[in-house]
Amino acid sequence: MKHTYAAEPQDSAGREQPRRDWTVQHVTALFDLPFPQLLDQARQAHLAHFPVPEMQISTLLSIKTGACPEDCAYCPQSVHFDTGLTAEKLMPLEAVVAAAETAKARGATRFCMGAAYRKPRPREVARISEMISAVAALGLETCCTLGTLDADQARQLKEAGLDYYNHNLDTSERYYAEIITTRPYAERLETLAEVRAAGLKVCCGGIVGMGETREDRVALLRQLATLPSPPESVPINHLVRVPGTPLEHAEPLDPIEFVRTIAVARILMPASRIRLSAGRSALSDETQALAFYAGANSIFYGEQLLTTPNPEADQDRALLGRLGIAPETAVGH
């Protein structure tokens, strides 16, 4: 099956609008394309919405670390696994603002705050709301990942100035129970609905390399692309195999299959930011370059993502420079 963009509806600027009728068969056919043909289609979709070679830069800070009651098989912050991680309470406001100022000085335009909660309590949401307002005042886009939210919490975060809420689906609904048993898949979809209802933008993606099949990757991307509104930001995480977690010995995903996943995500969600997230330290420069060509246009700066390693900012700047890709400078571009 060959997907063609000429038949897609266009907006007033002549850009093709995302399809909403993707089927499993459609997505499977994309994954099955010869690699050069898949990259060509992904590049075409990318250029229709992002014609300038820019990379959106984010920084992710763990504002509350460890002691999470969830049992996500990949996560070093779970209380169910002995990974040697030291739990830390919610950071003070001043420390978060200082980290945000440093991130901005190093070229980030979005500042993401992550807290290891299943669901934050009211007093925690109040403190985090202060952080959001202070970071927004610096001229940075703001993003949070705090676990499950209800409608009131989502509205409170929106009123504080939050731009994005991150809540990943992680994997397919079929494979989900192999990875997480403490939070049902449907609850994740409910939180996404509450976030949308509050007027927040959605950051939602998944993790690959957890032992899932290609069919699971097909199902995950199709689910994301056919949500009532596709996520504006789609992080694709490459599993970090953390010692002490159930997935520490998972078989690494083939780099070409990883790039295929990025390319299919770009075709399905052409107007979204596709972010190379966790696990970039395990990817060669060549694999990252292919992923950028396939449509990834967002990365995290910083030596650490929550509790896992990330390439140093200088290393990222050097790679982007070699590729002729400029860091994006305009917030909300």
State the Cα–Cα distance between residues 6 and 13, nearest whole angstrom: 15
Just list the catalytic residues: 68, 72, 75, 112, 143, 203, 275
Report whether 261 contacts 235 (CB < 8 A).
no
Cα–Cα distances in Å, from 135 out to 129, 171, 225, 319? 10, 31, 30, 28
CA distances from 101 to 89, 140, 303 (A): 21, 9, 16
At how many degrees (to 10) do helices 24-31 and 35-49 cross? Answer: 110
Residue 151 and residue 154: Cα distance in Å, rounded? 5
- Residue 108, strand partner residues: none
C-alpha 189: how far from its chain's center? 16
- Whether the CB-CB separation of 236 and 296 falls below 8 Å is answered with yes
**Amino acid identity, residue 148?**
T
Q: Which one, of 325, 296, 294, 298, lies nearest residue 42 by Cα?
A: 294
Cα–Cα distance for residue pair 80/261, rounded to 1 Å: 30
Give the pair of three-digit tokens for residue 218. Answer: 């097909």
Task: Quote the CA–CA distance of 240 and 238 in Å, as a whole number.
Answer: 6
